[in-house]
Amino acid sequence: MPYLGAAYLWVKAAHVIFVIFLMAGLFMMPRFFVYHQQCPVGSDEDRKWIDRERRLLKIILNPSLLLVWVFGLMLMVEIGAWHFGWFHLKLLFVLGLSGYHGWISGYAKKLARGERPLSEKQLRLLNEIPGIAAAVIVIAVIVKPF
């Protein structure tokens, strides 16, 4: 029995809106990292990148991730998604993106401490993860292959 009623479409719209915000941040942050790593540790430019990364996390990424999960879980319950194979695939990739968000948060802290563990090329490759995950999630939700 549906519990959202007329609010269902509003919840769905909010979910999609915050997914867009989250994905934008997940695409931006690794690019920030590439540019940040080119700055000398402790320089004025280094401090500016640390502030930019902190603000992107606090203002866009963290709230968006939380709201994506809240609205997504509401939708999951509403449609009984747990019973569908496509949902399990989506959930697997959403968990992966949540972990990627955690990695981004941790890497920003490393850069703030002056650590540069990954190369520019590695960061550019890691920047492809959200796009691949988004493609799989959209196909799972729209096509529902199983």
Known binding residues for heme are 15, 90
Give me 143's structure tokens.
Answer: 């096509």
Q: What is the 3-state secondary structure (H, E, C) of the chain?
A: CCCCHHHHHHHHHHHHHHHHHHHHHHHHHHHHHHHHHCCCCCCHHHHHHHHHHHHHHHHHHHHHHHHHHHHHHHHHHHHCHHHCHHHHHHHHHHHHHHHHHHHHHHHHHHHHCCCCCCCHHHHHHHCCHHHHHHHHHHHHHHHCCC
Residues forming the annotated binding site? 15, 90
